[in-house]
């Protein structure tokens, strides 16, 4: 046996052969379109040493965008997940109209930023239907201010994020073998112990994943922060800062630095959540899938 | 006449030997069973033979043509998979015809041979159905028909009966053996079920941890297992660690845990050696002047009763009884020295 | 089920929350819909009179046909390329074990996990540098970044479900690699590929950030064009924006209805498959 074939044999035993070439196009695409630009951006951000980062962190107006974004994204993600759990738990079984209901819940995904923004401005605005109902019912004396501020953006995050979280959690719940709960019931557990001692621990990894995905969605908030928010003040999120730096100040170094900071903050939150998740049971959920 | 030769076939996964140095000569028309517990390398051996796994070392020859460098589709073997692996989107007929179409045979011949194969496995009424609409046994028949319709020089079967229920398994055993004989096939059959292997095969290859333990006819393996592992696999349920106290040319006497047994030594043994005495439950009988034991569990097994009993020192013995003892009964058991095998530990 | 629904207050709370969500949703959609058909609407429950002029205006003034053509072209190209590139990769990831597999999977996961702005800005800069941005090729390239990984993540579990023994069986029947692919694998993967394509289509039509960052005046998709009209307030009547938003949503709804014929609602948001029962 020649040296070359020997090497090929050894590689084949470890699972390396020509079939892996099928990975190449996808790998190249991700390397060229994602990794390289990211690295390029990193390079840009360090062009003046740490200058760009210093500019960002020394300017309270810029620095605070991190906090502003987290203040929006964390409660929105938390609410979306927390509200989804009891609703999905109640709907995990089969009932008439379940498919219709889940289909209706997908509708917000099709709305798009602009319709959601327009709708919120119309509906929750000072002369919108919502405030009219409250006024006519005598619940408030003056219209509530729910748009062009924090709440407008928050609502838009709930409208797009809640269905997403709900559908994910519903699918995780359906993946848990229902006989486990029945088994617990035969052992004398009522619905609350069944939920929090059996279902919830098995759902925990799914919850963490859902929270991460919903958080990522909310953390990237950009157009709705401009359209229904207060983009110069209370909802000046980090994406706006990055966009302004790049396309209004033409400071690509600063823009890249902000993008890097944004990525780091987001990954830090995701890593923290996944870290907490790893403390829980992570094996199979007894489902058939 | 040797027709297929495996020469030191070895397969490693990530530096670990899954199969090492399998050498085997197969004659035309033979039914060979590869037998062993899961993870013993029997499926690896079959996949190497099929060409689905490249060899790490060794070679495979058929009539002096080297096979192991050919891809599976050019070896001309048929294979039946444990999961049947029927094409779920093709009807029974098109599943069976697939291989013939791959060989670009004329349409009329494809039709004729497919019809024959469908008839052979008695699926005429189901030819138009999709695999998902068939029962497990019927799917199994389709898988067999698909493999034999090509008139392969060698049929490989990977635990084909393990997904069937007990009754169907017995029927299909006979069915496969009948097909093997009537079509004059050469078959290599992988199983972990020793009874299945013993009843179907002309010769058995017992594997353990990737190594061949013994190759022989069912009778040879049944009566003269080469070592304690093969004995364990061949139904010697009583494997008792003991020490040799006396050796004569015919009989070895061993003692341990309060028992004294006389048996036949396998290999050379000397006084003081640590050994394992192997006895089948059916060779331990209730009889006078034997070892006193207390009955613990009795299971009804048709003609006989399977009994678990414990000696005063706490060693558990498996035996057979004709008359039903009651748990708690004290009985004595004896063993025929010719049926007690003594292996080096 | 019905009996318990009446019985427990917990059920009322849950259904109440769902009801509230849907009322809000209906209010949001309804107000846009009503507004898009209203002539003048200030400080009243409903507009003073009705008209469909805003739709006509959107169609003619706003060059909606051109924008729609761009949207369709971009999404089709993205779907086609991401399927062609993603499916072979997911095949290898589903079937093979090799050193670095987990790392690679993580690499493919990352573009989905990162906010589009974080890589969109440097990507747009790079694309401008090489002359791709500001035209359709740039928009397509940028949208491939999350789409290829998305195809991979959707298809990998799908391919894992196909019994690998089926491919081996085809080989044992004498099929060559391309025949295994064409006759066995492709027909089995069609449903999965269809589902992945539709999901990518929906996501690409809805993708704002990446298209926004890379599009030129002639390569805007509908979302981006909408954003520009809305944020350029004052230039255009609000009802006109509403009409366009309704058009956009109707288009997405059509896509959604088509998508739901092939995939489960939960798959629209995730790759987790719902259990059959």
Residue B159 sits in the same domain as residue B32: yes
On chain A, the residues whose CB falls within 8 A of the CB of C100 are none
Give the residue with greater pLDDT, C25 vs A189. Answer: C25
CA proximity to B188, closest of B1, B33, B44: B33
Q: Report pLDDT for A13.
A: 65
pLDDT digits (tens, 9 = 90+) for C78-91: 999 999 999 999 99
Residue B202 sits in the same domain as residue B265: no
Residue B173 sits in the same domain as residue B246: no
On chain C, the residues whose CB falls within 8 A of the CB of B88 are 166, 188
| Local structure of residue B259 (DSSP, 8 states) | E
pLDDT digits (tens, 9 = 90+) for B286-307: 888 888 899 999 998 888 889 9
> Considering B199, B231, B263, which residue would you say is the last residue of a domain?
B231
Residue B58 sits in the same domain as residue B193: yes
Q: Write b or e for each residue in A214-226: b if 16 or more Cβ atoms lie within 10 A of its Cβ, otherwise e.
A: bbbbbbbbbbbbb
- The domain of B255 spans 238-344
pLDDT at A2 over 60: no
- Touching subunits of B (3+ CB pairs, under 8 Å) are A, C
pLDDT digits (tens, 9 = 90+) for B43-101: 999 999 999 888 888 999 998 889 988 888 888 899 999 989 999 989 999 999 999 99
Q: With an 8 Å Cβ cutoff, is A181 touching chain C?
A: no
Q: Is residue A70 part of a domain?
A: yes
Q: Does C25 contact A95 at a Cβ distance shorter than 8 Å?
A: no
% of chain A with per-residue pLDDT over 90? 26
Q: What CATH number is attached to the domain comprising B316?
A: 2.40.50.140
Task: Return the residue in C173, C175, C176, C276 with the most chain B beta carbons within 10 A, the one to mutate for interface testing.
Answer: C173
Q: Is residue A209 part of a domain?
A: yes
Domain count, chain A: 1
Q: Report pLDDT for C271.
A: 43
Q: What pTM was computed for the model? A: 0.80
Average pLDDT, integer, range A155-182: 85
Q: Does C168 contact B72 at a Cβ distance shorter than 8 Å?
A: yes
Q: How far is CA B326 from CA A147, B329, C258, in A?
A: 85, 6, 71
Residue partners of C92: CB distance under 8 A and separation at least 6: A19, A20, A22, A23
Other residues' Cβ atoms within 10 Å of the Cβ of residue A111: 25
Residue B64 sits in the same domain as residue B205: yes
Residue B175 sits in the same domain as residue B298: no
Q: Does C265 contact A260 at a Cβ distance shorter than 8 Å?
A: no
Q: What CATH number is attached to the domain comprising B18?
A: 3.40.50.300
Domain ranges of chain C: 2-51, 54-269
> Considering B231, B252, B286, which residue would you say is the last residue of a domain?
B231
pLDDT digits (tens, 9 = 90+) for B26-52: 999 999 999 998 889 999 999 999 998
Q: Report pLDDT for C1.
A: 42
Q: Does B14 contact A9 at a Cβ distance shorter than 8 Å?
A: no
Closest residue, chain B, to C163 (C-alpha): B85
Average pLDDT, integer, range A192-211: 86
Q: Is residue A212 part of a domain?
A: yes
User: What CATH number should be reported for the domain whose range is C54-269?
Assistant: 1.10.3720.10
**Identity of the residue in C17, C43, C141 whose CB atom sits nearest the CB atom of A83:** C17
Task: Return the residue in B17, B18, B56 with the most chain A beta carbons within 10 A, the one to mutate for interface testing.
Answer: B56
On chain B, the residues whose CB falls within 8 A of the CB of C171 are 51-52, 71-73
pLDDT digits (tens, 9 = 90+) for B237-283: 999 999 999 998 888 999 887 788 889 988 888 898 899 999 999 88
Query: Under a CB-based contact definition with an 8 Å cutoff, are residues A178 and A140 in contact?
Result: no
Q: Is residue A284 part of a domain?
A: no
Residue B140 sits in the same domain as residue B24: yes
Residue B43 sits in the same domain as residue B110: yes
- The domain of A127 spans 28-277
> Considering B207, B231, B255, which residue would you say is the last residue of a domain?
B231
Q: Report pLDDT for B196.
A: 92
Residue B329 sits in the same domain as residue B206: no
pLDDT at C272 over 50: no
Closest residue, chain B, to C173 (C-alpha): B99
**Identity of the residue in A26, A93, A219 whose CB atom sits nearest the CB atom of C152:** A26
Q: Report pLDDT for C266.
A: 57
Give the residue with greater pLDDT, B184 vs C277. Answer: B184
- Touching subunits of A (3+ CB pairs, under 8 Å) are B, C
Q: What is the rounded radius of gyration, in angstroms, for the C-alpha atoms of chain C?
A: 23
pLDDT band (50, 70, 90) for residue A217: confident
Computed from CA positions of residues C4, C7, C10, C14, in that sequence, does the dihedral angle turn out positive or negative?
Answer: positive
Residue partners of C136: CB distance under 8 A and separation at least 6: C70, C73, C74, C77, C218, C219
Computed from CA positions of residues C233, C237, C239, C240, in that sequence, does the dihedral angle turn out positive or negative?
Answer: negative
**Identity of the residue in C169, C175, C187 whose CB atom sits nearest the CB atom of B85:** C169
On chain B, the residues whose CB falls within 8 A of the CB of C168 are 50, 52, 72, 79, 81, 85
Q: Report pLDDT for A289.
A: 34
CA proximity to B179, closest of B162, B202, B155, B163: B155
């Amino acid at each position: 046996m020649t040296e070359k074939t020997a090497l090929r044999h050894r590689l084949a035993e470890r699972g390396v052969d020509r079939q892996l070439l099928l990975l190449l196009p996808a790998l190249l695409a991700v390397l060229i379109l994602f990794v390289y630009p990211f690295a390029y951006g990193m390079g840009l951000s360090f062009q003046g040493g740490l200058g760009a980062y210093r500019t960002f962190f020394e300017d309270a107006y810029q620095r605070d965008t991190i906090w502003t974004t987290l203040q929006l994204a964390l409660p929105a993600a938390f609410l979306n997940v927390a509200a989804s759990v009891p609703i999905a738990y109640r709907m995990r079984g089969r009932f008439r109209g379940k498919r219709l209901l889940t289909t209706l819940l997908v509708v917000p995904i099709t709305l798009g930023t602009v319709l959601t923004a327009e709708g919120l401005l119309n509906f929750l605005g000072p002369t919108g239907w919502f405030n009219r109902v409250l006024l006519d019912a005598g619940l408030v004396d003056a219209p509530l201010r729910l748009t062009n501020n924090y709440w407008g953006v928050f609502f838009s995050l709930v409208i797009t994020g809640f269905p997403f979280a709900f559908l994910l959690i519903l699918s995780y719940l359906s993946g848990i073998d229902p006989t486990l709960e029945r088994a617990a019931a035969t052992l004398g557990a009522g619905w609350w112990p069944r939920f929090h001692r059996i279902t919830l621990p098995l759902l925990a990894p799914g919850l963490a994943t859902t929270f991460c995905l919903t958080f990522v969605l909310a953390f990237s908030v950009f157009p709705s922060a401009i359209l229904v928010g207060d983009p110069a003040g209370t909802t000046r999120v980090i994406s706006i800062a990055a966009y302004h730096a790049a396309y209004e100040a033409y400071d690509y170094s600063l823009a890249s630095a902000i993008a890097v900071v944004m990525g780091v903050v987001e990954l830090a939150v995701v890593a923290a959540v996944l870290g907490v998740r790893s403390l829980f049971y992570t094996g199979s959920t007894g489902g058939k899938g | 006449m040797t027709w297929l030769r495996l020469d030191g076939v070895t397969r490693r996964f990530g530096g670990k030997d899954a199969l090492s140095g399998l050498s085997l000569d197969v004659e035309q028309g033979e039914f060979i069973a590869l037998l062993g517990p899961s993870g013993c390398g029997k499926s690896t051996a079959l996949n190497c033979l099929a060409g689905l796994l490249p060899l790490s070392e060794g070679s495979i020859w058929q009539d002096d043509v080297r096979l192991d460098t050919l891809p599976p589709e050019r070896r001309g073997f048929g294979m039946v998979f444990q999961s049947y692996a029927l094409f779920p989107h093709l009807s029974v007929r098109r599943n069976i015809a697939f291989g013939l179409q791959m060989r670009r045979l004329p349409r009329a011949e494809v039709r004729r041979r497919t019809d024959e194969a469908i008839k052979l496995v008695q699926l005429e009424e189901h030819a138009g159905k999709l695999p998902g609409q068939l029962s497990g046994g019927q799917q199994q028949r389709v898988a067999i028909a698909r493999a034999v319709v090509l008139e392969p020089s060698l049929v490989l079967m990977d635990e084909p009966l393990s997904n069937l229920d007990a009754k169907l398994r017995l029927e299909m055993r006979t069915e496969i053996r009948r097909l093997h004989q009537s079509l004059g096939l050469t078959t290599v059959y992988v199983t972990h079920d020793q009874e299945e292997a013993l009843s179907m095969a002309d010769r058995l290859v017992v594997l353990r941890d990737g190594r061949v333990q013994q190759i022989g006819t069912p009778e040879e393996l049944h009566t003269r297992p080469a070592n304690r592992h093969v004995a364990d696999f061949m139904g010697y349920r009583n494997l008792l660690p003991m020490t040799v106290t006396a050796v004569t040319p015919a009989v070895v006497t061993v003692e341990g845990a309060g028992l004294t047994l006389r048996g036949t030594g396998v290999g050379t043994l000397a006084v003081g050696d640590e050994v394992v005495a192997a006895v089948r439950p059916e060779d331990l009988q209730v009889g006078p002047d034997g070892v006193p034991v207390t009955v613990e569990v009795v299971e009804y097994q048709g003609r006989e009763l399977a009994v678990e009993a414990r000696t005063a020192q706490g060693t558990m013995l498996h035996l057979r009884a004709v008359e039903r003892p009651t748990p708690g009964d004290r009985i004595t058991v004896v063993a025929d020295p010719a049926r007690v095998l003594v292996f080096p530990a | 089920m019905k009996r318990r629904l009446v019985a427990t207050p917990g059920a009322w709370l849950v259904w109440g929350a769902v009801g509230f969500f849907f009322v809000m949703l209906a209010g949001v959609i309804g107000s846009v819909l009503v507004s898009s058909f209203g002539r003048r609407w200030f400080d009243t429950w409903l507009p003073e009179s009705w008209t469909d002029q805003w739709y006509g205006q959107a169609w003619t003034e706003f060059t909606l046909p051109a924008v729609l053509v761009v949207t369709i072209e971009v999404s089709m190209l993205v779907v086609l390329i991401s399927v062609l590139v993603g499916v072979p990769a997911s095949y290898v990831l589903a079937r093979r074990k090799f050193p670095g597999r987990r790392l690679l999977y993580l690499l493919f996961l990352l573009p989905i996990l990162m906010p589009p702005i974080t890589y969109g800005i440097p990507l747009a800069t790079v694309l401008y540098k090489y002359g791709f941005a500001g035209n359709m090729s740039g928009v397509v390239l940028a949208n491939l970044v999350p789409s290829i990984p998305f195809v991979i993540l959707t298809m990998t579990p799908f391919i894992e479900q196909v019994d690998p023994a089926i491919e081996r069986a085809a080989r044992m029947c004498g099929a060559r690699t391309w025949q295994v692919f064409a006759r066995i694998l492709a027909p089995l993967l069609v449903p999965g590929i269809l589902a992945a394509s539709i999901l990518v289509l929906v996501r690409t039509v809805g993708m704002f950030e990446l298209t926004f960052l890379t599009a030129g005046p002639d390569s805007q998709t509908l979302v981006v064009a909408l954003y520009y009209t809305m944020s350029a307030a004052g230039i255009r009547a609000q009802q006109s924006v509403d009409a366009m938003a309704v058009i956009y949503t109707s288009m997405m709804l059509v896509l959604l209805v088509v998508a739901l014929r092939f995939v489960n609602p939960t798959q629209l948001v995730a790759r987790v498959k719902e259990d059959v029962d």
